[in-house]
Structure 1
Amino acid sequence: MRIVVVVIGALLVAVLATLYATEHPGYVLIARPPWSIEMSLTVFLLLFVAGAVLLFLALYLLVRLLRIPRDVSRWRDRRSARQARQSLTQGLVRLAEGNWAESEAQFLASMRHAEVPLLSYLGAACANQGHGNIEKRDEYLAGAHRAAPQHHLAIGMTQANLQYIAHQSEQALATLTELRNVAPRHKQVLKLLAQLYLELRDWTNLADLAPELRKQGVMTPKEIDALELRAHRELLVLTLPSGSLEVLKKAWNAVPKQLRRHPALIAIYARQLISQNEMGCAEALLRPAIEQEWDEALVELYGHVRTDTPAEQLETAESWLGPHPDDPKLMLTLGRLAIYNRLDQKARGYLERCLSLRGPVEAYRELGALLERLGEKDRALACYRRGLELYGEELRLPVVPSGAGFVPRQRAVR
C-alpha cells in the first residue's frame, strides 16, 4: 500500500512539473566566445540530472574497483571465521561423544582461523586427557596460556580439574594454590582445594580452609561441619609419643570453640590425655562435658580415668544415678570406679546391674576379673565364656549404615 501511494505521488509531481514547464519553459544561455549554447530550462535540468547520475555511477564503480582487495580479504576472513566456528562446534560434539582423535582434529582446524583460540586449546587438552596423552595435554594448556593470558583463571581451573581427574593430586594442588593467590574467594577453587586436601589427608590445611569455605558459602553448612569435624578429629587422633602433651594441647586449642563441645572430639582428646597419663586433665574435661550434655561414650570413658582422688570421682559418677538410673554405660563406669576404690561388693552390684540392663560386652570381662579376684573362679569362667560368645556373635552380625560410614550392628548383652 505504501508503494502505491509513493508511485502515485511521484506521477502527480511529474505531471505538475511537466505542465509548469510547458507554460513557463524558460531558457538557459551558456556563452563562451566564439561559442554559445541556448536551451530550455527543462532540457538543461534533465541533462544536469543525467550527468550527475552518470558521474556518481562512475565514481562508485571506481571506488568499488579500488576496494576489491579489501573486500576479498574481508570475505575470506568471514569464511574462515565461519569455518572455525563450525570446526569448534564439531570438536565439542565429538568431545562429548568420547571420540578423542576426531575431536582433537576438529579443534586443531578451528585454531588456525579463530580470533581467540582459547576454547580450541582447552578442548584439545580435554581430548588428549581422554585418550591418556598427558604430555600433549600440557602442551595445549601451555598454548592456551600463550594465546589468552588474560584468561588465566579459566585456563588454570581447567588444568586443575584435568589434573585432579588424572589423579595428579600434587600437581593439581600446586595449580590451585597459585589460583588461590590470584582469586582467593573463588568458590570452585576453594571447593576443589578442599577435595584435594581431603584426598591427600592434609588435615591441617583442611581445618584452616574450613572457615573460608563457610564464609564464601562454597558448600552447605552441614557438609562444611562434617569436613571440619573430620579434620580436627584426625589431627587429634594422630599417634603421639609419650611426653607430647604440648603438641596435643596445641591441636586441641586449634579446634574452634563450637566444636570443642562436640562429644566425639571431647572423647578423642580425653583418650589422648589418658594415654599421656594426664588423668587430672582428662577428668576435668569429661566431668563438665557429661554434666552439660549426657553422652554414653563420654560416661564410659570416665570410668577409665584414674585420678589421685578416686573417692571423689566415684561420688561424682554416683550423682548421675538420679537422672540416669537405668543407663548400662553408667553402671559399667560405676563398677570400674568402685573397683579402683577397692569397693569390690559395690563394684559387683554395679556390674551385675549393667548386665541385667543388657549393657556392653566389656562388663563380662570386668565382672569375671572381679569374681576371679574374689575366689569365685567357676563364676568368673562362666562370665568370660559368655562374654566371648556374645563378642563372637557381634562379629558375625551384618553391617548397617551409620552417619559416619558402615559400622557393625551393636548387640545388647543378654
Structure 2
Amino acid sequence: MKSLFWLVAVFAAAAALAVFGRMNEGYALFVYPPWRIEVSLLLAAIVLLLFFALLYAMVRLVHHALALPAHVRAYRERRRRERAQGALAAALQAHLEGRFARAEKEAQRAWDEGGAPGLAALIGARAAHQLRQFSRRDQWLERAAAAGESLQAARLMTQAEMALEERDFGAAREALTALHESGPKHIATLRMLLRAERGAQNWEEVLRIASMLAKRDAIAPAVAEEFKAQAYVEILGRVAADRRGYEERLRRIPARDQALPRVAVTAARHLTALGNAALAREIVERGLAHEWNGTLVALYGELPELEAPERAREAVARIERAERWLSDHAEDPQLLAALGRLCAAAELWGKAQRYLEAALSFEQSRAAHLDLAKLLERLGRPADAQRHVRGAAEMP
C-alpha cells in the first residue's frame, strides 16, 4: 500500500511538472565567470529534484552501511532465540513422550542457546531424574537456582516431586516448607505436603493438612475421611499402652471423627484391652449410629477382662442395646453372634445358644462354631460341642 502511494505521488508530480512547463516560459540563468548557462525553468527544477533524490539515496546508503553490524547482530540474536525456543519445545515434547534421553539433550541445546535457561534446566533435571542420573539432575537444579528468583517456586516444586518419587520425605518436606514460606499455600503444594507428611508419619500434620484441603474442597470428603482415619489410628496406636493418656487423646478427637469406622474399631479394641468397657461400648454405639459395620458389631460382643459381677452388668447393658438393633438387622450374622457371646457372658445359656445357632444358620463362621462349642461343653453336651469343633476346623 505504501509503494502504491509513492507511485501515485511520483506520477502526480510528473504531471504537475509537465503542466507547469507548458504554461511557464521562464528560464534559469547560472553564471560562473567566464561561463553563463541558461536553461528552462522546468529543466532546472527537474535537475534540482534529481540532485536532492541522489543526495537522499546516498545518505540512506551510508546510513544502512553504518547500521549493518547492528542489523547483523539483531538477526543473529533473533535466530538464536528461535533455535532456543525450538530446542525448548522439543525438550518438553520429548519429556511428555517419555523420551527422557532426548529431552535432556534438547534441554542442553536450549541451555547453550541461552533461551529461557531456567526452564531448560528444570526440564533437564526432570529428564535426568527419570534416567536416574542423580548427579546430572543435581547439576541441572543448581543451574535452575542460578537462573533467578522468578523460577524459585517451579524449582522447589520440581525438587519436592522428585523427592517424593524417591520416598525421600524429609527432602520433600524441606522443599515444600521453603515454598510455603516464600508465598501463599497453593492447593497443589498442600497435596504434595500431605503425601510427604504421610510418608514421614507426621500424623498430626496429616490431620491439619487434610482438614485444610477438605475446607477448600480440594479433595473429596471420602478421601479426607480416609486420611484422617489413618492418622487417628496411628496416633491412638502410639498411646495405646497408657490408659489415661489414651482416654485424654481420644477426647480430643471430634465426635464425628470418632464415629469413622476405622477409628471406632481401633478405639474400641484398645479400650477393651485397657479395660474401659463403658467407653468402648459408647464408641462402638456411636460408630454404628454413623455407619453400620460388621467389624464394629463383632467388637460389641467382646468384653474386657473384668470382675464377674461387673462383666455381667456390662454384658446385660450391651444385650439390651443390641436387641434393639435386631428390629433393623434381624438376619445379620455378626449381630446374632455378638448377642450369643454377650448372653453367654451374662450366663443366659438358652438365649446364647439360640443366638449362636441363628448366626450359623445365616453364615458359617469359625468363631461362631467355637463359641457354640464352648457353650455346649459348659452345658454338659460334649458330643454336640465336638461337632461344632469339627465344623470350625473344616472352615476354609
* TM-score after normalising by structure 2: 0.83
2:371 alignment counterpart: 366
The reply to whether residue 259 of structure 1 matches residue 257 of structure 2 is yes
> The residue matched to 2:113 in structure 1 has which SS?
coil
The reply to whether residue 380 of structure 1 matches residue 385 of structure 2 is yes
Q: d(CA) in 2 for partners of 1:259 and 1:227?
A: 11
The Cα offsets for residues 355-386 of structure 1, whole Å up to 9 and x where unpaired, read as: 33335431222222222223322222222221
Residue 353 (structure 1) aligned to one of 353, 358, 369: 358
> Alpha carbons of 1:15 and 1:353: their partners in 2 closer, same or farther (altered >3 Å)?
closer
1:43 alignment counterpart: 43
> Alpha carbons of 1:267 and 1:30: their partners in 2 closer, same or farther (altered >3 Å)?
same
> Alpha carbons of 1:283 and 1:223: their partners in 2 closer, same or farther (altered >3 Å)?
closer
1:181 alignment counterpart: 181
> Alpha carbons of 1:10 and 1:267: their partners in 2 closer, same or farther (altered >3 Å)?
same
Asked if the contact 1:260/1:266 (under 8 Å) is kept, the reply is yes
1:223 alignment counterpart: 223
- Aligned AA (2:219): M
> The residue matched to 1:259 in structure 2 has which SS?
helix
Residue 334 (structure 1) aligned to one of 334, 339, 349: 339
Asked if the contact 2:300/2:318 (under 8 Å) is kept, the reply is no
Q: d(CA) in 1 for partners of 2:219 and 2:332?
A: 38
The Cα offsets for residues 269-316 of structure 1, whole Å up to 9 and x where unpaired, read as: 122111111112122333455467654433332222357333444333
Q: d(CA) in 2 for partners of 1:89 and 1:51?
A: 54
Instruction: Give the unaligned 5+ runs of structure 2.
Output: none
Residue identity (%): 27
> The residue matched to 1:185 in structure 2 has which SS?
coil
2:277 alignment counterpart: 279
Q: d(CA) in 1 for partners of 2:103 and 2:328?
A: 71
- Aligned AA (2:354): G
The Cα offsets for residues 103-153 of structure 1, whole Å up to 9 and x where unpaired, read as: 444433332332431222122223322332212211111111111321111
Residue 319 (structure 2) aligned to one of 314, 326, 336: 314
> The residue matched to 1:67 in structure 2 has which SS?
helix
**Which is worse superposed, 5-14 or 78-87?**
5-14
Q: d(CA) in 2 for partners of 1:86 and 1:278?
A: 70
Asked if the contact 2:259/2:290 (under 8 Å) is kept, the reply is no
- The structural deviation recorded for 1:12 is 6.6
> The residue matched to 1:57 in structure 2 has which SS?
helix
- Aligned AA (2:23): E
Q: d(CA) in 2 for partners of 1:8 and 1:243?
A: 101
Q: d(CA) in 1 for partners of 2:342 and 2:2?
A: 107
- Aligned AA (2:351): K
- Aligned AA (1:329): Q
1:411 alignment counterpart: none
Q: d(CA) in 2 for partners of 1:127 and 1:323?
A: 59
The reply to whether residue 245 of structure 1 matches residue 233 of structure 2 is no
The reply to whether residue 72 of structure 1 matches residue 72 of structure 2 is yes
2:107 alignment counterpart: 107
Q: d(CA) in 2 for partners of 1:291 and 1:102?
A: 59
2:144 alignment counterpart: 144
* TM-score after normalising by structure 1: 0.80
How many residue pairs are counted as aligned between the two chains?
A: 389
- Aligned AA (1:272): H
The reply to whether residue 213 of structure 1 matches residue 218 of structure 2 is no
> The residue matched to 2:132 in structure 1 has which SS?
coil
Instruction: Give the unaligned 5+ runs of structure 1.
Output: 394-414
> The residue matched to 1:20 in structure 2 has which SS?
helix
The Cα offsets for residues 216-242 of structure 1, whole Å up to 9 and x where unpaired, read as: 443344433333333333434x25453
- Aligned AA (1:210): A
Q: d(CA) in 2 for partners of 1:252 and 1:363?
A: 34
Q: d(CA) in 1 for partners of 2:294 and 2:4?
A: 96
Q: d(CA) in 2 for partners of 1:83 and 1:337?
A: 80
2:63 alignment counterpart: 63
- The structural deviation recorded for 1:213 is 1.9
Q: d(CA) in 2 for partners of 1:152 and 1:47?
A: 68
> Alpha carbons of 1:265 and 1:338: their partners in 2 closer, same or farther (altered >3 Å)?
same
1:171 alignment counterpart: 171
The reply to whether residue 268 of structure 1 matches residue 266 of structure 2 is yes
> Alpha carbons of 1:30 and 1:229: their partners in 2 closer, same or farther (altered >3 Å)?
farther
> The residue matched to 2:394 in structure 1 has which SS?
helix
Select the structure that is richer in helix: 2
Q: d(CA) in 2 for partners of 1:100 and 1:320?
A: 61
1:402 alignment counterpart: none
Q: d(CA) in 2 for partners of 1:112 and 1:81?
A: 11
Asked if the contact 1:163/1:172 (under 8 Å) is kept, the reply is yes
Q: d(CA) in 2 for partners of 1:2 and 1:118?
A: 43
Q: d(CA) in 2 for partners of 1:190 and 1:17?
A: 80
Q: d(CA) in 1 for partners of 2:262 and 2:116?
A: 54
Q: d(CA) in 1 for partners of 2:158 and 2:81?
A: 25
The Cα offsets for residues 307-333 of structure 1, whole Å up to 9 and x where unpaired, read as: 733344433333444444443333322
Q: d(CA) in 2 for partners of 1:222 and 1:294?
A: 16
**Which is worse superposed, 290-299 or 78-87?**
290-299
The reply to whether residue 298 of structure 1 matches residue 303 of structure 2 is no
